[in-house]
């Protein structure tokens, strides 16, 4: 008996077989789907999610290119939407004992990875999910049918790249792979052939839809939040339809969230100093230095000029400055 899942899996496998495929980091391949490159297991999970997952109007999806501040965004949004259940400052707040990735799961890494079709029936509304895939690749209903909200976080591509460079060798799957040089990774980042790339297309796709549907997609940058954290915590709460009340303002709840989710606070919690995420990243590697401009310490001036030029060429026609 071939159940529905098995037939579905065959469809997914045939689709993957038919896609353009390029070697990546020597050990892997990237497949091009819907304009973006994916490693095989992420792609399989994205396709499975697209097939099985149904958005509810109250769902919230956090979308990002890897290393753009996802961990931080997960912590902030989780804390904002759960602040009635888990008041800021309470001793049993889940963020004190869980890595943010254990509180908000990625579709393609956690939920639909390993050929799983998860049972999500016990999740409280609003359900929080995350993805590094282009949110719009997850199906038409994300954009057109459901009322779910998307928050996208981007980051300066030079800092994103440098963060990736430090992080990749720490992933269990990559640990076993041949080491890759900075130049090789840089070339793959700039050419766009890397997991979830091209970076610039990923950012632009979400930027455009945030302009067309501002009530649906909120577009943020890591740099904006670093510079004005209180302001953006408030903006996020307003966007999600749960603004801070006058009483909360008086009790400085916004600033409590900023402090609770700060790099300094999260990185010193035991839950973030030990253990690994489901995809095998050591929790402490998710908190490296958390500053703007660290790329200047690693990239040559040629590299900086190259990324700046690509960014200028890709973003300026759309009025996007990062």
Cβ distance 119 to 21 under 8 Å?
Answer: no
Alpha-carbon span 124 to 180, nearest angstrom? 42
| Residue 201 near residue 311 (C-beta atoms within 8 A) | no
Choose one: 31-39, 66-74, 118-126, 135-143; the region binding ligand A3P (CB under 6 A): 66-74
Catalytic residue among 93, 101, 132, 202: 132
| Beta partners for residue 221, in sequence order | 154
Does position 71 bind ligand A3P by CB under 6 A?
yes
Q: Rounded distance, CA 131 to CA 70, Å?
A: 9
Distance CA 133, CA 309 (A): 25
Least Å distance, CB 250 to ligand A3P, is 25
Out of 290, 303, 310, 311, name the contact with ligand A3P by CB under 6 A: 290
Rule CB under 6 A: is residue 80 a binding residue for ligand A3P? no
**Residue among 39, 43, 218, 266 that touches ligand A3P (CB under 6 A):** 266
By beta-carbon proximity to ligand A3P, the closer residue of 55 and 263 is 263
Say whether 64 sits in a helix, a strand or coil: strand
Of the pair 104, 209, the CB lying nearest ligand A3P is at: 104
Q: Which residues contact 247 (CB under 8 A, 6 or more apart)?
A: none
Closer by beta carbon to ligand A3P, 50 or else 67: 67
288 interacts with ligand A3P by CB under 6 A: yes
Tell the smallest beta-carbon distance from residue 51 to ligand A3P (Å).
26
Residue of 203, 286, 299, 307 that binds ligand A3P (CB under 6 A): 286
Q: State yes or no: residue 62 binds ligand A3P (CB under 6 A).
A: no
Stretch that binds ligand A3P, among 78-86, 102-110, 199-207, 260-268 (CB under 6 A): 260-268
Asked if 262 touches ligand A3P (CB under 6 A), the answer is: yes
Pick the binder of ligand A3P from 44, 67, 105, 149 (CB under 6 A).
67
C-alpha to C-alpha distance for 182 and 288, rounded to whole angstroms? 18
| Total residues in contact with ligand A3P, by rule CB under 6 A | 21
Cα distances (angstroms) measured from residue 222 to each of 17, 65, 183, 316: 36, 12, 25, 19
Q: Which is nearer to ligand A3P, 52 or 288 (CB)?
A: 288
Q: Which is nearer to ligand A3P, 70 or 146 (CB)?
A: 70
**With respect to ligand A3P, which residue has the nearer C-beta, 7 or 289?**
289
Among 36, 38, 72, 199, binds ligand A3P (CB under 6 A): 72
Report CA-CA distances (Å) from 4 to 11, 43, 122: 11, 20, 23
Check the CA dihedral 26-31-36-42 and report its sign: negative
Q: How far from chain centre, in Å, is Cα 63? A: 5
DSSP assignment of 201-268, as one string? HHHHHHHHHHHH-TTTEEEEEHHHHHH-HHHHHHHHHHHTT-PPPHHHHHTTHHHHHHHHTSHHHHHT
Cβ count near 109 (within 10 Å):
22
- Interaction between residue 159 and ligand A3P (CB under 6 A): yes
CB of 300 to ligand A3P, least distance (A): 18
Active site residue 166: no
- Residue 48 interacting with ligand A3P (CB under 6 A): no
Peptide bond into 186 cis (omega under 30): no
Catalytic (active-site) positions: 132
Chain positions contacting ligand A3P, by CB under 6 A: 64, 66-72, 159, 163, 166, 261-263, 266, 286-290, 294
């Amino acid at each position: 008996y071939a159940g529905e899942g098995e037939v579905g899996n065959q469809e997914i496998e045939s689709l993957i077989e038919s896609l353009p495929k390029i070697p990546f980091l020597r050990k892997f391949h990237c497949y091009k789907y819907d304009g973006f490159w994916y490693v095989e297991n992420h792609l399989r999970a994205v396709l499975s999610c697209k097939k099985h997952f149904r958005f509810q109007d109250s769902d919230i999806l956090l979308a990002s290119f890897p290393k753009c501040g996802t961990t931080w965004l997960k912590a902030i949004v989780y804390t904002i939407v759960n602040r009635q259940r888990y008041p800021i400052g309470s001793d049993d707040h889940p963020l004190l004992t869980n890595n943010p990735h254990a509180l908000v799961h990625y579709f393609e890494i956690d939920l639909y990875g390993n050929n799983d079709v998860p049972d999500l029936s016990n999740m409280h509304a609003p359900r929080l999910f995350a993805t590094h895939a282009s949110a719009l690749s997850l199906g038409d209903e994300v954009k057109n049918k459901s009322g779910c909200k998307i928050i996208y976080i981007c980051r300066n591509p030079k800092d994103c790249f440098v963060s990736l460079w430090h992080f990749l060798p720490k992933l269990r799957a990559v640990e076993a792979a041949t080491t890759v040089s900075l130049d090789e990774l840089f070339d793959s980042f700039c050419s766009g052939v890397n997991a979830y790339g091209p970076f610039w297309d990923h950012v632009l796709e979400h930027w455009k839809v945030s302009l067309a549907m501002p009530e649906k997609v909120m577009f943020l940058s890591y740099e904006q939040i670093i510079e004005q954290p209180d302001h953006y915590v408030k903006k996020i709460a307003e966007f999600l339809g749960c603004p801070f009340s006058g009483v909360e303002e008086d009790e400085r709840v916004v600033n409590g969230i900023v402090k609770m989710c700060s790099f300094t606070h999260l990185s010193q919690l035991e839950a973030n100093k030990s253990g690994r995420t489901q995809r095998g990243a050591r929790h402490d590697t998710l908190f490296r230095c958390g500053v703007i401009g660290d790329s200047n310490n690693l990239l040559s001036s040629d590299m900086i000029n190259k990324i700046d030029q690509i960014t200028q060429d890709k973003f300026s026609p759309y009025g996007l400055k990062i």
